[in-house]
Amino acid sequence: MDLLAASIAIRWDDAGWLWLLDQRLLPGEERGLRIETAPAAADAIRDLVVRGAPAIGITAAYGVVLSALRHADAADPTAAVAADIATLRAARPTAVNLGWALDRMAATIEAAGGPDPETLLALAREIHLDDIAANHRMGELGAAEIEAGSAVLTHCNTGSLATGGYGTALGVIRSAHGGGRLTHVYAGETRPWLQGARLTAWELQQDGIPVDLVIEGAVASLFRSGRARWLVAGSDRIAANGDVANKIGTYSAALHARSHGGKVMIVAPFSTVDLAMPDGSGIPIEQRAADEVLGLGGRRVAAAGAGAWNPVFDITPAELVDVIVTERGVARPPFRESLAAQA
C-alpha cells in the first residue's frame, strides 16, 4: 500500500504541486486545494486549511520543495528559498514541528550547497512517512495504557487530518478500539473552530467508532459521572519538564479529569518535544482574531460592542499529566528525566 497516496489530508503531486484537503469545509464538503508556492503553503497553514502540529510540519517541508522548484532559475536560489522558509516559519508560532521540519530542510540545503528539488522532495517524503510510522507506534503504546472497558474524552482533532496519517491521540483511540479496550469516545466540540464536532466526529464515524460530542462546559460533569476514565489529547509543543501546549481547553479538561480520579495521556511524536524549552512559561501562545469567537459560521452571534480574548492554545502543567506517549516510548513523571532519556 502506498501510504503517502493514502494520506487523506496532504498529498504531493509529481507534477510539482501540493494537494491539501481544505479542513475548513468539513464535514459538509470535501474539497482539495492546489498549492503551488511556498507562500501559498504558509497561507494554508495560517488560515487553518491544514492544522495539527505534525501536518503543519509536513506541509512546511513540502512548501520548501515548492520554493526550490519555483526558484530554480533565480539569480540566487538559496537566498530566495531562505526567504520562503522564513515566511513558512512565521505562519504559526506555537507548533514546534513547524520549525523542526524547516530546520531539517534548511540543513539539507546547506549540506547540498543549494536547494536541490529532488533531494528536498526525498526528505519531505521521509518526514511524511516517518510521521505515519510514528503514529502507528504511538497508537500501540498508548492503547496498552488504557484499561479494557474504558471510555475516553479527546479534545480537538489529532487524527489523519492533523498528521501524516492515522493520528496521535486519535491513533491511540483507533488502536484501543481495534483491540477491544474502548467502549465509547467523547469528543469536545472545540470552540471556536469546532474541530472536535466537525473533524474528530467525522473521522471516528468513518471508522465506525461510537462518538458523542460534549460541550467544554460539560467536561467536569462527564468525569464526575464516571463516564470517562481518560483524557487522551495531542500536543503542539511539550517542554522539557513535561508542560504541554495544546488546543485551548485541554488545561481545563485535564483539571476536571484529575479532580475526579481520571487520568491524562498526551500523545505526540518526539519532534513535538522541545528539550530546549525548560517549561511551559516560555511557549508562545498564538492569539487569533476576536471575530472567531464573536461569530459562528460567518454570522455574528455576540452582542454588538462585545470584544473577545481568543488564545488558541493553553498550557497543561506537567503535574496534571500521567503519561506522555511518543514513538520512542511511554514517558512518566518526572518528565524532565524520562523525556530526556528518549532523546
The candidate with the shortest Cα–Cα distance to 211, out of 191, 186, 230, is: 186
Q: 300 has which bridge partners?
A: 295
Sheet holding 32-35, edge to edge: 10-13, 17-21, 32-35
Please provide the size of the chain in residues.
343
Are the CB atoms for 166 and 159 separated by under 8 Å?
A: yes
Long-range pairs for 130-134: beta carbons < 8 A, 24 or more residues apart: 130/164, 131/54, 131/57, 131/58, 131/163, 131/164, 131/165, 131/269, 132/3, 132/7, 132/163, 132/164, 132/165, 132/166, 133/327, 134/269, 134/270, 134/326, 134/327
Q: What is the C-alpha separation between 106 and 100, in angstroms, rounded?
A: 10
* 319 SS3 class: helix
Write b or e for each residue in 21-46: b if 16 or more Cβ atoms lie within 10 A of its Cβ, otherwise e. Answer: bbbeebeeeeeebebebbbbbbebbb
Q: What's the half-sphere exposure (Cβ side, CA atoms, 13 Å) at 20? A: 30
Residues 160, 166, 167, 171, CA torsion sign: positive
Give catalytic status of residue 236 as yes or no: yes
Annotated catalytic residue within 116, 130, 207, 236: 236
Q: What's the half-sphere exposure (Cβ side, CA atoms, 13 Å) at 302? A: 14
* 150 SS3 class: strand
Are the CB atoms for 173 and 201 separated by under 8 Å?
A: no
Q: Which residue has the cell 491544514?
A: 50
Which residues are identified as catalytic? 236
